[in-house]
């Protein structure tokens, strides 16, 4: 499992959260059982407090939940939404293209 992406965890210090889920029960003082969708049935449903983030309720905020298409090894493919800017920088004779992408 060392090289497999789980829940969009791309690398060190860049966590990705996959959506708001209901807390079913408190298992320990530091562990909670969540109600996960059927697509995540292969994932254990008890999480440590450090893996969770508090949801601040806002009436104007509508959560647009898109279910992730997970592979058998719990990895998924990220697709860019829109290209915001393109730029080509030249250093001596080498040209490097920079593209700013909205995910």
Q: Is the pTM of this model over 0.75?
A: no
DSSP 74: S
Name the residue among 78, 86, 85, 83 with its Cα closest to residue 102.
Answer: 83
Per-residue pLDDT of the chain (103 residues; tens, 9 = 90+): 555 555 555 555 555 667 788 889 999 899 999 998 887 888 888 988 888 888 777 777 665 667 777 888 888 777 777 888 999 999 888 999 998 887 7
Residue labelled with tokens 């898109």: 66
Q: Find the angle CA(87)-CA(93)-CA(95) to the nearest 5 degrees.
A: 20
């Amino acid at each position: 499992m060392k090289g497999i992406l789980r829940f969009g965890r791309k690398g060190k210090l860049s966590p990705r959260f996959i959506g708001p889920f209901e807390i079913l029960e408190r298992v320990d003082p530091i562990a909670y059982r969540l109600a996960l969708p059927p697509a995540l049935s292969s994932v254990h449903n008890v999480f440590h407090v450090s893996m969770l983030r508090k949801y601040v309720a806002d009436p104007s905020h509508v959560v647009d939940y898109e279910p992730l298409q997970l592979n058998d090894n719990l990895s998924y493919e990220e697709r860019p939404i829109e290209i915001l800017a393109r730029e080509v920088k030249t250093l001596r004779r080498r040209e490097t293209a920079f593209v700013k992408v909205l995910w």
